[in-house]
Amino acid sequence: MDASAIRQWKSEGRNRLKAELDPVVAGALDERRIVGTVVEILIDGEPAYRCAAGFADREAGRPMTRDSIFLLSSVAKPIVTVAALSLVQSGKIGLDDAVSDWLPAFRPRLPDGRGPRITIRQLLTHSAGLSYVFTEQGNGPYHRHAISSGLDDTDDDFPALIDKLSDTPLSYPPGKGWGYSMGLDVLGAVIEQVTTSKLPEAITALVTGPLAMDDTAFSVTDTARLVTHYGDGSRQPRRLAGDDAVPFFGNPVRFSPGRILNPRAFPSSGAGMAGTAGDVIRLLESLKAGHSPVLDDATARSMFDIQARTGGLASGPGWEFGFGGAVLVEPEIAGTPQSRGTLQWDGAYGHKWFVDPARGLTVVALTNTAFEGMNGRFPVDLRDAIYRGL
């Protein structure tokens, strides 16, 4: 195939994707399931679809743009995971090092009083016995200790967080179970000790700087580009207040969008960053392409390997957990057109991303609507439309 034929083939492919995806985005907006979105798709490293649609601020009539800045929530996790793996790669820390070697105050116990050894690997893979306040039923220990998930506001710094977690019983013996958790937040405190830098500066030096993710950080200076976030559960998404809650599988998840502007709150590795879709896709594409300025090929590939068995708890049946996200093991069981070996995760503010190396696909869809943009109809319709358009 000569160069002109390749260009025509690529153009036809982009047109097919556009024909499939534009109606999905328009439908979600017209039906008021989401307020706004930015979608970025790369195929074999080249732009295949880009879309900014809806409102960044509905009440102000401010349109969404491709450089809109979102509160990333758990989309921060792969960023911090890459930072930690870069430290492992350079020999500054080991995956099986005890966390207490770096954080002597971090010594949580099991309900029977035993103080087990917790490793860096277990923090990375949510198998350390930690939990989240929003996964508790009723007035559990995370509620009683007022442990911030990273989504709600707090004046706790890292030492206060570590003290509270150390006083909270573990949910299960480390390495003997799986539970979505604040492991990445503890890891952020470890990164500070390893690098002798504050976490925001360490992440800039290790990840966002080398990848030119210029709009991604634990703070926002250009607030004019920061989107307004909304919560669903009513006739149309409602603007989230300063201290708000959105129901999620029967539990309220507390959101404080203004936390990103609070310099006293600990920088949450699990939920506390803000950034653009373009920055996020640059990070994810670097993992697939195998030419990351941050990770060598073997370390990047390890993120797509099964690192923890979850029994379907990560992303449902057919998925296990790698580093930074869930790994697709059985597409038929999962009921997805994605290829075996796909890595994906999401963000509570309304985000979904996945990397399908077998198809050369990298996909980021950020919305400002929780939880429709994360686990509602929109990300499923978008995913299925992508594969129809390939």
Structure tokens at 62: 């401010």
Query: What does residue 76 show for φ and ψ, rounded to 5 degrees?
Result: -70, -25
Please, where are the H alpha helices in the chain? Answer: 3-30, 76-89, 120-124, 141-144, 158-166, 183-195, 199-203, 277-289, 297-302, 331-334, 372-375, 377-389
Structure tokens at 85: 């793996």
- Tokens 């080398």 locate to 210
State the catalytic residue, choosing from 4, 11, 73, 74: 74
Which CA distances in Å does 87 have to 53, 166, 238, 282, 382? 38, 24, 41, 20, 35
Burial class (CB in 10 A: 0-12, 13-18, 19+), 104: exposed
- Residue 340, Cα to own-chain centre: how many angstroms? 20
Confirm if 72 and 347 have CB atoms less than 8 A apart.
yes
Strands 369-370 and 230-231: parallel
Confirm if 272 and 280 have CB atoms less than 8 A apart.
no
Active-site annotation holds for 74: yes
Confirm if 118 and 97 have CB atoms less than 8 A apart.
no
Q: At what angle do helices 158-166 and 183-195 cross, to 10 degrees?
A: 130
Confirm if 74 and 270 have CB atoms less than 8 A apart.
yes
CB burial of 150-176 (b: ≥16 within 10 Å; e: otherwise) equals: bbbbbebebeebbebbbebebbbebbe
As a whole number of angstroms, the distance between CA 377 and CA 300 comes to 31
User: Is 54 in a helix, a strand, or coil?
Assistant: strand
Burial class (CB in 10 A: 0-12, 13-18, 19+), 3: exposed
List, by residue number, the catalytic residues.
Answer: 74
